[in-house]
Amino acid sequence: MRNIIRYKFLALGLFVGLNVLQAQTKPGSPDFLQMSVTLDVEKLALDKIFDLLSKQCQCYFTYNARQINGNDLVTFQCTQWSLKRVLDTLLHNPAFSYEVIKNQVVIHPISIETNTLKADIDNFMVIKGLLKNRITHEALPFASISVKSTYLGTMTNEGGAFQLKIPSRLITDTLIFSYLGYYNLECLISQFPEDGIIWLTEGTISIQEVIVRSKDPLYIIKKAREMVNENYQTQPYNYQAFYREAIKTDRKYSIYSEALMSGYKPQLKNASLEDKVQLVKARKFTNIQQNDTLMVKLRGGVDACFQLDIIRVMPEFLLKSGGQLYQFHLNDITLWQNELVYVIGFKQQNYIPEPLIEGLVYISAQNYAILGADFSFAPEKLQHSDKLFVIRKSVQTRVKPLQTHYTVKYTLISGKYYIQYVRGELELKVRKRKHLFNRNFSTLMEMVYTSIDTLNAERPSRKETFQTHTIFSDSEHIYDHGYWNQQNIIEPEENILDAFRKSGFQLQNEGITN
């Protein structure tokens, strides 16, 4: 199988009839902690025991994975014990206390561990704004915002909104706003507009108006490959990143998870080595109804974001062999980050039967750095390609992929380019055999790198790392009364906030309530 098959960016598991685990707690329901439990397990991982408890009590558990090791093997037997007694025994209490929130049992450490990333919020300032086209007034989604003298930054959301939290000592620094096809805009932090609106001006340049070094797209891509070690950070570094994933069922959010991660990226020459990631903070929202008999979960979404780094994991269209698999065209020359940029289109050859990704790649005309790419699988090639995306499903379930889209962007910091943002989307149509109607599912994953540290690159210990190949939304997340504090995230879209409010589910400490 060729290299392209590793680009199963959105690996999904389809499950039927899992709604029991997510059953909504109704007023007047019994206290979960007093429910009777019977267990008989031998050398079973603690997180698997939590799964068994979830099935018996129709609730699920939230805890900090750094304080409770779910991989610990446990031998345990009990008959008709209360859930609280079982938890006390498994966790060797009195180290923990319990709080019931709807259908969740939240396990709190009695002595709260100090978060190493937490700082005095009074020493930070929050800048909120909206990026718009100066002429059309349209919002500009997924634009880049960075602080000029630092490694701090974020992205606008789908509606063009952003929020950036920066140390107050940087009040004299400058914000840089950049968007494909537009002139960069710089703004002193101290002079940020009161209404929060940043207007960007289009700066598209046609091919006929400029003198270019080459119009041969294969030559441009060849030069881009040759210049990778010159253009990109080759040494290991630490970073902070914000990750988000979501599942929609018939256009309504059913699962929504987000997390702040601290990671270690290995040397570029060791690109086959995986990132080592610590899960610093995480939370999730679920809105699965009792009558939902079909559910989609995203497996390995965090790892898929790392696989979308097309410099470290080069897809076929950037390799030498891509010349036989793809048709290439120089579509345009435009501006990005105040650089002239080649816009090269790539599309699979007609004689290639299997679906390959196709789209646009953006390459600097100055130094041949790959600044980003937008691509997807051709919809007409997806008709019989469910195995590209679906890891597991019931034999009674039929899955039809409808469309995909992937985005990756890089940013220039101190003369070197770093991965800044990745996003992947997939739409599916699912039908159970003997059922008349289809269910439509859409999935989203995205990650923005909010800061990097090249001076003190340290690899986290194995015990501290998060398994990026797992189903992230199944992870047990702790509730935190300060929640994101000064950490930079991608602003939620307004329709997501509305979904939270209408669902009746209460997210603590973000001001999001019913």
Examine the fold and report which residue of 67, 101, 135 is the final residue of a domain before the chain moves on.
101
Q: Which of 254, 285, 251, 245 is nearest to 427 (CA)?
A: 251
Q: How far apart are CA 306 and CA 288, in angstroms?
A: 29
Quick check: is 376 in a domain?
no
**Do 152 and 74 fall into the same domain?**
no
Quick check: is 404 in a domain?
no
Q: Is the pLDDT of residue 7 over 70?
A: no
CATH of the domain at 199: 2.60.40.1120
Which residue segment(s) compose the domain that 154 sits in? 121-208
Quick check: is 256 in a domain?
no
**Do 145 and 203 fall into the same domain?**
yes
Quick check: is 156 in a domain?
yes
Q: According to the model, what pLDDT value does residue 422 have?
A: 92
Cβ pair 333, 341 in contact under 8 A:
yes
**Do 82 and 132 fall into the same domain?**
no
**Do 129 and 66 fall into the same domain?**
no
**Do 29 and 84 fall into the same domain?**
yes
Q: According to the model, what pLDDT value does residue 249 have?
A: 78
Strand partners, 174: 188
Q: How many domains does the chain have?
A: 2
Cβ pair 330, 344 in contact under 8 A:
yes
Examine the fold and report which residue of 156, 188, 208 is the final residue of a domain before the chain moves on.
208
Quick check: is 405 in a domain?
no
What would the DSSP string read from start to end of 8-73? --SEEEEEES-GGGGPPPPTTPPPGGGSEEEEEEEEEEHHHHHHHHHHHHT-EEE--TTTS-TT-E
Split at pLDDT 50, 70, 90, the class of 138 is very high
**Do 91 and 163 fall into the same domain?**
no
Cβ pair 507, 283 in contact under 8 A:
yes
Q: Render pLDDT for 457-499 as a digit per residue (tens, 0 to 9).
A: 888 777 667 776 665 555 554 434 444 455 555 555 555 445 5
Quick check: is 290 in a domain?
no
What would the DSSP string read from start to end of 416-480? EEEEEEEEEEEEEEEEETT-SS-EEEEEEEEEEEEEEESSS--PPPGGG---TTSBGGGS-----
Q: Render pLDDT for 255-278 as a digit per residue (tens, 0 to 9).
A: 788 888 888 999 988 777 888 888
Query: Model pTM?
Result: 0.69
Strand partners, 422: 408, 447
Quick check: is 357 in a domain?
no
Quick check: is 175 in a domain?
yes
Q: Render pLDDT for 435-451 as a digit per residue (tens, 0 to 9).
A: 667 778 888 888 889 88
Examine the fold and report which residue of 174, 208, 242 is the final residue of a domain before the chain moves on.
208
Split at pLDDT 50, 70, 90, the class of 112 is very low
Q: Is the pLDDT of residue 311 over 90?
A: yes
